[in-house]
Each structure stands twice: as structure tokens, then as C-alpha cells.
Amino acid sequence: MARAATTSDVFNAIAEPQRRELLVLLRAGERPVTELARELGTTQPGASKHLRVLREVGLVRDRREGRQRLYALDAGGLRPVHEWTGGFERFWGESLDRLDAYVRDLDRTRRET
């Protein structure tokens, strides 16, 4: 089965660790590509390539300021990921509720003996 193009699918775009790190860095606010590259420990062209992919899937936006290109997080693009993970949140919530009930039963049994 053919894999979806990275530039058309947010899940494939964020599968790359450096792209996820770029999103984390951009949570603090708009930053120039040169600063992002330095933080990542990569070259400016390498960072630009990752930022282009993130821009194409709608996770970052950019603007020019003089000779610099500034990037900012566009977290609305993460909506498909948030919706998909929502079902797992419910699973973990139910699992933790069951664990809490089990621990309470254990505690009650210990106090009775």
C-alpha cells in the first residue's frame, strides 16, 4: 500500500522527530529560520525543508521581515491529530478509573484485616 505524501498528511509530517521539535520551539512564538536551525542543531536549508513541509500541511505559517523569514505555529492544523487521539484519552480515563477503584478496594481490605 502506498504511503500518503508527507506534504499532504499532517500525521506523516509530524512523524519526523525534527518537525515535532520545530513545533515545540514555535510554541514560544514566532522565530526566524536561522534561530530555529541553531536550536535544532541543523543547517538553515535543512530546517527550511522541514518548515516547508509543516507549512504545506497547515501547521506553521511564515512571513518575511526584511531579509528574514519568520515562522509561527498554526496549531489549528493539529485538529485531525487531536480528534484521533481523543478516543485514546477516553480509553486511558476509563483505565485509570478502574485502577483507582481497584486501589480503593485494596485499601479497604487492608483496613478490615
- Asked if 46 and 87 sit in the same domain, the reply is no
d(C-alpha 82, C-alpha 76), whole Å: 10
d(C-alpha 73, C-alpha 55), whole Å: 9
- Asked if 48 and 83 sit in the same domain, the reply is no
73 domain residue, yes or no? yes
Domain containing 53 equals 6-77
How do the pLDDT tens digits run along the chain, 113 residues long?
444 455 568 999 999 999 999 999 999 999 999 999 999 999 999 999 999 999 999 999 999 999 999 999 998 998 988 888 887 877 777 777 788 888 888 888 888 87
> Which pTM does this prediction carry?
0.72
1 domain residue, yes or no? no
Give the CATH number of the domain where residue 48 resides: 1.10.10.10
